[in-house]
Amino acid sequence: MSEDGLKPVYDDQVDEEAYKRGPQYKWTKARKSDYKDGDDSNGEAPPEKKVKYEDKPLNDENGKPVEKERRLPKRKVAVMIGYCGTGYHGMQHNPPNLTIESELFTAFVEAGAISKANSTDLKKNGFMRAARTDKGVHAGGNLISLKLIIEDPQIKEKINEKLPEGIRVWDIKRVNKAFDCRKMCSSRWYEYLLPTYSLIGPKPGSTLYDTIEQGKQELPGVLDEDDESKQFWSEVDKDAREQFSEDELQTIKSYVPPPKDQFDGTDPTYHKVKRYKQMENLHRRQYRISQEKLKKFRSTMEQYLGAHNFHNFTLGKDFKESSAVRYMKEIKVSEPFVIGDAKTEWVSIKIHGQSFMLHQIRKMISMATLMTRCGCPTDRISEAYGPQKLNIPKAPALGLLLESPVFDGYNTRLEKFGYERIDFANYQNEMDSFKMKNIYDKIYKEEVDENVFNAFFSYIDNFDRVTGAKGEETVDKTGTSVQKSIFEFLSAKGIPSSAATNTDTSKKDTSEAPKEIPVATTGTEDESQVTPQEAEN
């Protein structure tokens, strides 16, 4: 017994300082609240706090005092959203530019989900996004986590009323206080829409076409013979000769657009060039891909499955950096479908990956498309995972959209705390209707109006003429660190040094994601440590 005789004293009793060194003492306040008895860990709301009023007086825009706002309790929530990225400078708040988050934040304030006292700073509400999509990139499903006032049962409807038609809230779900949608997101689905005419072989007479044909003569049997593309260009040539004389075709071929300040819209040569391009575009939109070519494209895309070193599919990554290794879980290429007034044929490519880097998906699509166009062996993609630096152009941002983030790993913990799972599949019908009206139709229309993909591949077919297509050896850069042209990769020779020294994980069993693969830190296609201004530009 102790000296006062009130309670026994034990030699092995743990003192307070020893307790403080234990793991539970180091828990954050948010994590403690998830396990604390009497809190909302069973899914029920915690006891209401007393209503407080701001001590600091508020003034309106004219400097006159306004009535103090009643402070209502805020709840940690996950807001499931979809949006069309056209006209926005990306997802992330980036004043003074118009962004998706700025529109959402304004709607939350106007709907009463965020108090006026907290309406000047996103950080006051713990604002975080699961995927930071960038300029012009759309999302059928994305998710943000923050603290909102959600006592009003009609709060979702009121928020949607304040939002433009191109941004929708699918649902608002309660989550535990420690929930961080960026860190808890286990993987992401992205979709890319590609017109099938993008898979037609290079135009005869272009630099890439000549490179491919020369390679076939030097090393016959390495590249596929693309009779389908030959037939397409033969029909274009036949149609052109019926509409234009030989002299006119030579004039059209040698035409160089003048500077903008010297452009003459009445120039007869310009109008002939315009008619010729319209004729070519009509043939492209009438093109229908064969099952054989579609199978080749699918097989090429499947080469990305598993864990690989994608240092060549982004910017600023070295072969030796562990963060360049990314894991692709699923890839699906749809059957072709014809849509729009122009009757263009498209395919949808869906990619499910653990995480992505800056421009990664756009470069993956570009590489697979170029390999199909040039008839390269499908397994040649493994050469791009090697140490040789390779210049891979990025496909247009127009066709890219975020399908949805996935929270399979963390959903188990949410259910343990008494909350509902986060699953975008529950809103698939709403998302599909929204995408068709606000995303797909805009993509199809812009492609027809601007000929985005035709312009891209016409540029690529003469890419080696452009400064910067390939690097030069310097004192600091030699060997594999010197960037090779994509044309060298696509030729019959390929880049054998890459295959010979390839030491990435593509040679290993990739049936499961290796533990050392880094989980995404920002959650966007084009996502590793990049600013909103950098990505997707």
Give, in order, the Cα–Cα distances in Å from 43 to each of 40, 391, 414.
5, 52, 10
Q: Cis peptide leading into 195, omega within 30 of 0?
A: no
Query: 346 Cβ partners below 8 Å, 6+ apart?
Result: 193, 194, 195, 196, 336, 337, 338, 339, 444
**φ, ψ dihedrals at 505, nearest 5°:** -80, 0
Instruction: Give the whole-angstrom CA distance, residue 238 versus residue 305.
Output: 41
Three-state secondary structure string covering 123-140: HHHCCEECCCCCCCCEEE
Inter-residue contact 163 to 79 (CB < 8 Å): no
For 339, how many CA atoms within 13 A lie in the half-sphere containing its CB? Answer: 19
Inter-residue contact 202 to 212 (CB < 8 Å): yes
Q: Angle, to 10 degrees, between the axis of helix 452-460 and the axis of helix 360-374?
A: 70
Instruction: Give the whole-angstrom CA distance, residue 229 versus residue 196.
Output: 12
Tell me whether residue 53 is annotated as binding.
Answer: no
Instruction: Give the whole-angstrom CA distance, residue 423 versus residue 126.
Output: 22
Instruction: Give the whole-angstrom CA distance, residue 144 versus residue 398.
Output: 24
Q: Would you put residue 145 in left (φ > 0), alpha (ψ -120 to 50) or beta? A: beta
Instruction: Give the whole-angstrom CA distance, residue 393 versus residue 122.
Output: 36
Instruction: Give the whole-angstrom CA distance, residue 100 versus residue 90.
Output: 7
Q: Exposed e or buried b for every residue in 100-111, given b needs 16+ CB within 10 A?
A: bbbbbbebbbeb
Inter-residue contact 212 to 219 (CB < 8 Å): no
Q: Which residues are known catalytic residues? A: 134
Can you give the C-alpha Rg of the chain in angstroms? 29
Instruction: Give the whole-angstrom CA distance, residue 320 versus residue 338.
Output: 44
Three-state secondary structure string covering 150-186: CCCCCHHHHHHHHCCCCEEEEEEEECCCCCCHHHHCC
Q: Which residues are annotated as a binding site?
A: 190
Binding residues for substrate: 190
